[in-house]
Every structure is written in structure tokens, then in C-alpha cells.
Amino acid sequence: MEIGPLEYVVIGLPDDRFTSDILPELNAIQQNDLIRVVDLLFISKDADGKTSVQEVSELSEEEQQVYAFLADNLSGLLTAQDIEGLAQEIPAGNEAVVVLLEHAWTLGLAQAVQHAGGTLFTGGMVSPDALAQVSAELAAVKEEHYA
């Protein structure tokens, strides 16, 4: 089975609003099968920095119901070493959700490029800092244009 490029996000939350606010959005992005959630786990770090990890499969049956739409795609691709590295980014006394996304849309594009005799030379993700800068610049231009 071919798999598209993977991207992880670590989401810190002050309470359990993940299921009410973020989970529906993850469901929405998966509906067209262009981006898939292929791993999802919860990390807690106590005030002393001790980390505990819980996977969706370790939740109670009732809690797992909320994640049913993800069940077919969850593959457990994040390794213990990946999780350890990501946990270092979480400040002590916080909880986070780690989501691993597969950019499945790239598979069709890669096939089209290959069929056309083309070559994909490089690719990558724009950093959050660069995105923030571009967003600010676009907002300034829009404000200037409509002023």
C-alpha cells in the first residue's frame, strides 16, 4: 500500500474541547479522502515533567465511540522514539493531542506527474512563522486595498 507524505501536529489544549471543537474538523478534512488521520494519541506531562501516553485504542469503549470515524485509518505509525521527541515540545503541566496526517492527495498528483513524463524535484512545508508573516502581509495589503 502506497502512503502519501506525513505531517504531525501537536495540539495543546486547556481542557477537553478537543472532542467538541477539533475532532469534527478532523472528520471534515477526511471526508473527501485527500487528507487522512493515520495516528492520534494523547500525551500528558505532569508538573515534574513525567510523561504519560494514551492511544485511542486504550480509551474506554464509550470514549472510543467518538473516534469511530478514524478507526479505519489509525495505523499506529508513530514510534516510541517519535512520541518521546514530540513530548519534549510539551511544557510540564500540560496535555496535548498528537495527530499524524497523511497527505493522500499527493498520490494522485505524483501519478499524474509520472504519467505526463514530469519529475517532482522537491517539496516541503512552509514554517508556521513564515505563514504568520505572509498572513500579516496579505491582511495589510487587503486593508490598504479596501481603505
Banded model confidence at residue 1, pLDDT cuts 50, 70, 90: confident
Q: Is 15 a residue whose pLDDT tops 80?
A: no
Q: Is 97 a residue whose pLDDT tops 80?
A: yes
Please state the rounded mean pLDDT for residues 30-50. Answer: 92
133-143 residue pLDDT tens:
999 999 888 88
Are 74 and 68 contacting, i.e. CB atoms less than 8 angstroms apart? no
Measured from the Cβ of residue 4, the count of other Cβ atoms closer than 10 Å reads 19
Alpha carbons 137 and 89: distance in angstroms, whole number? 28
